Amino acid sequence: MSAGAVEWLAPSSLRDAIALRAERGDEATVIAGGTFLGILMNQGFLSPSALLSLGGVDELRGIEVVEGELRLGATVTHRELERDARVREAWPMLARAFAVVASPRVRNQATVGGVLADADYASDPPAALQALGARAVLRSPAGERIVSIEELVLGYYETCIAPDELLVEVRVPAAPARAVYRKFRSRSREDRPCVAVAAVRDAQRLRVVVGAVAERPQQFPEVCAVADGRDIDTALAKDIGEGYAEQIAAIDDARGSAAYRRRVTAVEVRRAIEELAA
């Protein structure tokens, strides 16, 4: 291979993809839609000597509903998910969280596995998936393990995916009675979120996950517990929003300061809970 050339590994079965992943480890960078990697490579932050493409692996492409559980292959694109009739009907909040990512051009390429594996804090889908109780299936030649989104995302651009593992599927439990996703952008229509709020109400229990405010999606069950078994009204929604703003870890970045993010969190959490109750 000439200097600077990138080796392109293109398995056509999942078995071969996993074998190659185990054999080459981090020395071959996994590529799915390439929307995240493309930017890193174009800007010179990453210069892989080999790329392991998942594009030819048909087993990773499907959307299925199995006994009420949604199963998303790792290379299902954002666009396929947001347009799938079963997802729109039974998990409309999830369809929305993927539909507000970037532009149709990006969503035609970006994959479900890619957005979780890149673990970019300023993303939409992770908070929505965490609120819905989704789990990721990680596979290596040694077998399979299934982890929650909380376990998967460890920090900035860091996951628990081992160098011999691929994320092969995301499983989303049967949809809750009510679910809402709100994306707050501070700059442009196509921007990443400044604050992302996913709220779920089921069996009189409330779960609220806030993403994009710090390194990982955050939730505070003890703050939500005041809503257990109670009707939600504006005062309760406001209290929970303020409780989140007090507890949340927030960062400063180009989309907003930590103080700004805390104020937006109070408002967006309140609005999400009010929408749930409407």
Distance between CA 255 and CA 192 in Å, rounded? 9
Q: Is 195 in the site for ligand FAD (CB under 6 A)?
A: no
Beta strands in the chain (DSSP E): 7-9, 28-31, 50-53, 63-66, 69-73, 135-140, 143-148, 153-155, 158-159, 166-172, 178-184, 195-202, 205-211, 218-219
Q: What are the C-alpha distances in Å from 60 to residues 100, 108, 220, 259?
A: 23, 16, 33, 41
- What residues between 148 and 167 interact with ligand FAD by CB under 6 A? 161, 166-167
Q: Is 55 in the site for ligand FAD (CB under 6 A)?
A: no
Q: Is 30 in the site for ligand FAD (CB under 6 A)?
A: yes
Stretch near ligand FAD under the rule CB under 6 A, chosen from 82-90, 113-121, 169-177, 238-246: 113-121
Shortest Å, Cβ 236 to ligand FAD:
29
Distance between CA 114 and CA 223 in Å, rounded? 31
The binding track of 64-93 with respect to ligand FAD, each residue x by CB under 6 A or -, is ----------x-------------------
Q: Is 34 in the site for ligand FAD (CB under 6 A)?
A: yes
Q: Is 20 in the site for ligand FAD (CB under 6 A)?
A: no
Give contact residues for ligand FAD (rule: CB under 6 A): 29-37, 39, 54, 74, 101-102, 106, 109-111, 113-115, 117-118, 123-125, 161, 166-167, 192
